[in-house]
Amino acid sequence: MRTDSSPGSLPAREHLPAAAAGTPVLDVVVPVYNEERDLGPCVRRLHEHLTRTFPYAFRITVADNASTDGTPHLAARLAADLAAVRSVRLEQKGRGRALRTVWSASDAPVLAYMDVDLSTDLNALLPLVAPLISGHSDLAIGSRLARSSRVVRGAKREFISRTYNLILRGSLQARFSDAQCGFKAIRRDVAQVLLPLVEDTGWFFDTEMLVLAERAGCRIHEVPVDWVDDPDSTVHIVRTATEDLKGVWRVGKALATGSLPLDRLARPFGDDPRDRDLTGVPQGLARQLVGFCVVGALSTLFYLLLYSGFRHFAGSQLANALALLVSAVANTAANRRLTFGVRGRGGAVRHQAQGLVVFGIGLALTSGSLAALSAATTDPDHSTELAVLIAANLAATVLRFLLFRAWVFPDPQPAAPSPEPHLPEPHLPDPQRTWSDAR
């Protein structure tokens, strides 16, 4: 897993400015490996569709993954015959490698790809890229699992696809519906930040990109598609599924350990309500309260179980101190990651040290409550002890949240805004002129 310490900042969402003359707005990549039979019909049909319906200049890039048949010669001939088509040859296999290579070098502001079999109806292409051109979204995917999608495929592929997406939702908390549909697009400025973090070079490439994009706070637009299964597909289902599961494990491990710098990548969204500078309203307070309460409830249960266990061989004061110490370390770690969104190992020791100070205050409250109970009655029963400890812990919990928020994990102070340079008003491209140029 790539762990660049400073991957950069994602750009603010805005409508794409007018492209320079001769620069395509859209670059559609068709990755191929030994596809001499399907490549010609695919590219010609795609080129005809874009020429007829797409209102901006475009490019089709055939990315050959080390084919051993006549695919490279056919791709070169198509590039020579059609002005908006080019071919790129790679000497190594891997769909992800092909997409990374072409997308990284492309000058088009919107990058897309589709499978050579054209299983997806091309009428979904303009709805796919329109939200990226307008600035509404960062990535867009075709979804065969949307309610309004119309899909024709066998039960085996249907089962595998739905199972895979359920695994993504259960293990990586993915919220997009269809990771495997070969019909996706991304803004180039977003791709420049995300691609260095994506490690896979094969079929898991786009799934990994989507998971990282979602975790970084990107907006993913989904388009229902009409899709017809290709019975002659050369994809090896078992091998692909195995590699995908390995990728899920690798990405899940990296996210769990905080080794990926994905905390929204310091993105200046501007249009995101979470980023608005509202005076007098602490940012993220509601979400932090919910997270703190959940962690606190689990920590209290953990503490009571520990106390009951330690009480079998130690006095009430020692059992309380041990249980509170162990649960405090776990509570600080959980709140650091889940409540306040601190990722990575930086500052972890300092946070635990500050957490132990907060633990000391909680220990004083609970120990004082036990001392007061012992003074009031010489032999309190276990249920009374637990009731007193719960009340004391509630008071300590309120104080713990305030100290965590104000001292241990304070909100970073926003930097003073720098004066924005004066830029000339952008001129939107003339759809009729660019449409004519594309022809």
3-state class (DSSP) for residue 203: coil
E-strand stretches of 110-265: 110-114, 139-143, 150-152, 183-187, 220-224, 226-228
Short-list 132, 209, 131, 154, CA closest to 176: 209
* Separation between Cα atoms, residue 14 and residue 312, nearest integer Å: 63
Report the relative pairing of strands 220-224 and 139-143 from DSSP bridges.
parallel
Short-list 111, 148, 153, CA closest to 133: 111
The active-site residue out of 69, 206, 232, 430 is: 206
State the DSSP string of 42-86.
Answer: HHHHHHHHHHHH-SS-EEEEEEEES-SSSHHHHHHHHHHH-TTEE
Report the relative pairing of strands 220-224 and 183-187 from DSSP bridges.
unpaired
How many Cα atoms are found within 13 Å in the side-chain-facing hemisphere of 426? 10
Q: Is 277 a catalytic residue?
A: no
* Separation between Cα atoms, residue 429 and residue 432, nearest integer Å: 9
Which residues are annotated as catalytic? 206
